[in-house]
């Protein structure tokens, strides 16, 4: 069993829909990262959070430390949001990240 699990693995949405991607982890963490990988392959960091909620534009990330669960929400989705979304957990005393396998999101016009 992977230490970081994402769901769903694939997601297709219509433009304008509200999207939720989930991430569960089994390790103790000091931070949880959300990243975006576009079809061209480049990886961009979206959020790093250790508690509560963060918002950037139409993206919202939440984390529940007790439940070892994080969610990434996209409001008013757009085709340009189509990408792979990856969560990664950072262990307490280490600088290493443990990555989920990603969620492939396709937003159709």
Partner 1 sequence: DAGITQSPRHKVTETGTPVTLRCHQTENHRYMYWYRQDPGHGLRLIHYSYGVKDTDKGEVSDGYSVSRSKTEDFLLTLESATSSQTSVYFCAISANRGGETQYFGPGTRLLVL
* Residues of this chain that bind partner 1 (CB under 8 A): 2, 4, 30-31, 33, 35, 41-45, 48, 50, 86, 88, 90, 95-102
| In 15-82, beta strands by DSSP E | 19-25, 29-37, 43-49, 52-56, 59-64, 69-74
**Nearer of residues 6 and 77 to partner 1, judged by Cβ:** 6
For the bound state, the minimum distance from the C-beta of residue 103 to partner 1, rounded and expressed in Å, comes to: 11
CB 26, min distance to partner 1, A? 14
User: In whole angstroms, how close is the CB of 19 to partner 1 at the nearest point?
Assistant: 20
* Alpha-carbon span 98 to 79, nearest angstrom: 28
Nearest residue (CB) to partner 1, 8 versus 16: 8
Distance CA 60, CA 58 (A): 7
**Pairwise CA distance, residues 69 & 30, whole Å:** 13
């Amino acid at each position: 069993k992977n230490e970081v699990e994402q769901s769903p693995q694939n997601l297709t949405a219509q433009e304008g829909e509200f999207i939720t991607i989930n991430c569960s982890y089994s390790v103790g963490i000091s931070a949880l990262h959300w990243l975006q990988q576009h079809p061209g392959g480049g990886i961009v960091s979206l959020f790093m959070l250790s508690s509560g909620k963060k918002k950037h534009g139409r993206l919202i990330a939440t984390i529940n430390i007790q439940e070892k669960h994080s969610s990434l929400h996209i409001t008013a989705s757009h085709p340009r949001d189509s990408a792979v979304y990856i969560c990664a957990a950072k262990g307490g005393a280490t600088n290493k990240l443990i990555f989920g396998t990603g969620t492939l999101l396709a937003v159709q016009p």
